[in-house]
Chains A and B, each alone.
Chain A
Amino acid sequence: MNWQQLPILQVILPLLAAPCCLLLRRSRWAWGFASLVGCLAFLIAAKQLHVIHNSPAGAISYQLGDWVAPFGIEYRLDRLSGLVLVVVTAIAAVALSVSRRLLKGEVPEERHHLFFAIFLLCLTGLSGIVSTGDLFNVFVFLEIASLSSYVLISMGRDRRALLAAFQYLVMGTIGSTFLLIGIGLAYMMTGTLNMADLAERLTMTLGSVYGEGASLENPALPVNQTRTILAAFGFLTVGLALKLALFPLHAWLPNAYATAPTVVSTFLAGTSTKVAYYVLLRIIFTIFGLTFAFQQVGLQYLLTPLAVTAILVASAIAAYQADLRRLLAYSSVAQIGYLVLGLSFATHAGVTAGIVHLFNHALMKSGLFLVVGCIATRQSGLTLESIRGLGRRMPLTMAAFVVGGLGLIGVPMTSGFVSKWLLVSAALEHDRWLVAVLVLVGSLLAIVYVWRVIEAAYFQSPDETGSDEVGEAPVGLLLAAWVLLGATLVLGVYTDLTVGLAREAATTLLGGGS
């Protein structure tokens, strides 16, 4: 068979399916259709990863409308994008297939078809960001994904969701406008938006980019030494840090995740920040290159302290949260610190650790939010007080939470251990003892916040006897949560799959960029 059209299909399928959901109107039909599309998207992503893996170049390129690359828009997928796409679509497929049950009692039934339409648009945006090889396209897809996630968050039944969505909208728009400024400045100096072309022209001299006729003060100056490019890099990094919720720009995240419908926090926790991290990797390594970002600008002096602070401060804040989802959200901010820390080492081992953790954390955090969704189907309270004694009433659900929690801590046999192991060994490779110790301190803090949940669920008896009839969550939901969290257990033992792929992805990134 001919698999050449897969890259465009990945993006266009959910895009076309979204308006179809509107036409279906009935909640059940729209849900069935959307889940089908989610599963198809996952199959396409899996097949694409297979094709990428087997292709000699380790990448596939798709020219939109057959316009040749630097002039037309190019979709370009290498191993990293293939891996991220699989994660995003897998989580979307799982979240969509259980969404109807989770939406009950959270979103009125007559609005379900709207919900599914916007969910699919969000998936379109996220897949588009990962697929495209054009910098301006990244901005457009980022806005599609962001705008639809603002809407999804505002659908939460808690009235605070409205303000959370509004605050996210303001912060997110500032972030993407920064991105737009950065892209504009880069275009101004190079005259191209294609990532590969941009990377090439940034290292050329001003004279060779502008040609003979241009009157330049200093034609021998490389483009990436100009102040405009420095400013572009600054704007791009800060804008993405906002989207990524890198400490101290994380203020929008806890409110948004804690008040959104549970299925939305399940989906976004595993995908949106991960995709922003992917774009950060692309911009730093593929476009600007290792030498520029780390030797000329010195990005590590900014990112390492911020990442470590994120790990410590956000974990500590998480330990003080009374609301389960807020606790998980602050834990997400801390885990983003681990991701960025891996990147800031700027070594092959560090980037590998970052990519592995992207994969593992997406599964863990989505699984954990899904467990919270399971609890929400049985009782309205989601605070530590209201889950007292839940370990006896919902043993399978809480066991899933324990598995995910152990993964967050990084206990051996879970996938969280694999990524922390890689991260610490990447730190020790260059004798960064202090950083390694601080990562371990972060894990200790993770023990504290995970323990608080376990203690409440298993070692405290419920206050009122009236709620004893609360039983297990619906089977389908439970199964979905166990699929995600079971996967983290499997990947904690069989590490070849993720680590092998991540190594190759890191090689492509570092090799192509420097």
Chain B
Amino acid sequence: MGLFNYWAVIALMMIGFYTVIARNNLIKTMIGLGIFQVSVFMLYISMGKVADGTAPIRVQSEVGATVYSNPVPHVLILTAIVVGVATTALGLALIIRIRETYGSIEEDEILEMDQQS
């Protein structure tokens, strides 16, 4: 395995970032943003893993595990996931309003309409 997770994180991050920059369609921009954020979730979840560690639950048994994975990054990323959901919801709500007002969700068309008015 090695650093496979981290390579995946970087790949996802770049795919998302490129989509945000390169796409004109507002929905596609939101999708890119979502992928970008998910890559960070993966980064946090991967860093919490301790080699040979089990789930951080205390079990009452004689052969109780001694090495646990670090639960803190997972807790942190739960918060960030909620934030990500809120951002996506707000972004999509704005797109709906934009579509109602302009009748388009292509950024260049909208800018063109604003220049004409």
Residues of A within 8 A of B (CB): 136, 139-140, 143, 147, 150-151, 154, 159-160, 162-163, 165-166, 169-170, 173-174, 177, 180-181, 184, 187-188, 193
B90 touches A147 (CB 8 A): yes
Among candidates A160, A173, A188, residue contacting B37 with C-beta atoms closer than 8 Å: A173
21 contacts between A and B (CB under 8 A): A136-B76, A136-B79, A143-B87, A147-B87, A147-B90, A151-B90, A159-B114, A162-B94, A162-B97, A162-B101, A163-B98, A163-B107, A165-B94, A166-B94, A169-B90, A174-B33, A180-B40, A181-B43, A187-B73, A188-B47, A193-B76
Contacts A163-B110, A166-B91; is A140 near B37 (CB within 8 Å)?
A: no
Apart from A143-B83, A163-B107, A177-B37: 4 A-B pairs, beta carbons within 8 A: A143-B86, A154-B97, A169-B91, A193-B76
B87 touches A169 (CB 8 A): yes
User: Which residues of chain A are within 8 angstroms of B72 by Cβ–Cβ distance?
Assistant: 187
**Interface: B26 (CB within 8 A):** yes
The distance in angstroms between the C-alpha atoms of A170 and B24, with both chains bound, is 13
Q: How far is the CB of A15 from chain B (nearest CB, A)?
A: 15
A184 touches B110 (CB 8 A): no
The distance in angstroms between the C-alpha atoms of A180 and B114, with both chains bound, is 35
Q: How far is the CB of B82 from chain A (nearest CB, A)?
A: 9
- A interface, by DSSP: helix, strand, loop or mixed? helix
B40 touches A162 (CB 8 A): no
**Interface: B68 (CB within 8 A):** no
Contacts A136-B76, A173-B33; is A159 near B101 (CB within 8 Å)?
A: yes
Q: How far is the CB of A388 from chain B (nearest CB, A)?
A: 23
Counting contact residues on chain B (CB < 8 A from A), the size range is 20 to 34
User: Which residues of chain A are within 8 angstroms of B20 by Cβ–Cβ distance?
Assistant: 170, 174
Within 8 A of A (CB), among B94-109: 94-95, 97-98, 101-102, 107
User: Which residues of chain A are within 8 angstroms of B97 by Cβ–Cβ distance?
Assistant: 154, 162
Query: Across the two chains, which residue of chain B brings its CB closest to A169?
Result: B91
User: Which residues of chain B are within 8 angstroms of A177 by Cβ–Cβ distance?
Assistant: 36-37, 40
Contacts A169-B94, A174-B20; is A160 near B114 (CB within 8 Å)?
A: yes
Among candidates B47, B90, B91, residue contacting A184 with C-beta atoms closer than 8 Å: B47
Query: Across the two chains, which residue of chain B brings its CB closest to A187?
Result: B73
**Interface: B80 (CB within 8 A):** yes
Among candidates B33, B102, B110, B114, residue contacting A170 with C-beta atoms closer than 8 Å: B33
Q: How far is the CB of A230 from chain B (nearest CB, A)?
A: 16
Find the residue from B26, B76, B107, B110 having the highest chain A CB count within 10 A: B76
B90 touches A150 (CB 8 A): yes
The distance in angstroms between the C-alpha atoms of A265 and B40, with both chains bound, is 32
User: Which residues of chain A are within 8 angstroms of B44 by Cβ–Cβ distance?
Assistant: 184
User: Which residues of chain B are within 8 angstroms of A162 by Cβ–Cβ distance?
Assistant: 94, 97-98, 101
Query: Across the two chains, which residue of chain B brings its CB closest to A171?
Result: B20
Contacts A160-B114, A174-B20; is A140 near B94 (CB within 8 Å)?
A: no
User: Which residues of chain A are within 8 angstroms of B91 by Cβ–Cβ distance?
Assistant: 166, 169-170
Query: Across the two chains, which residue of chain B brings its CB closest to A139?
Result: B80
The distance in angstroms between the C-alpha atoms of A174 and B20, with both chains bound, is 9
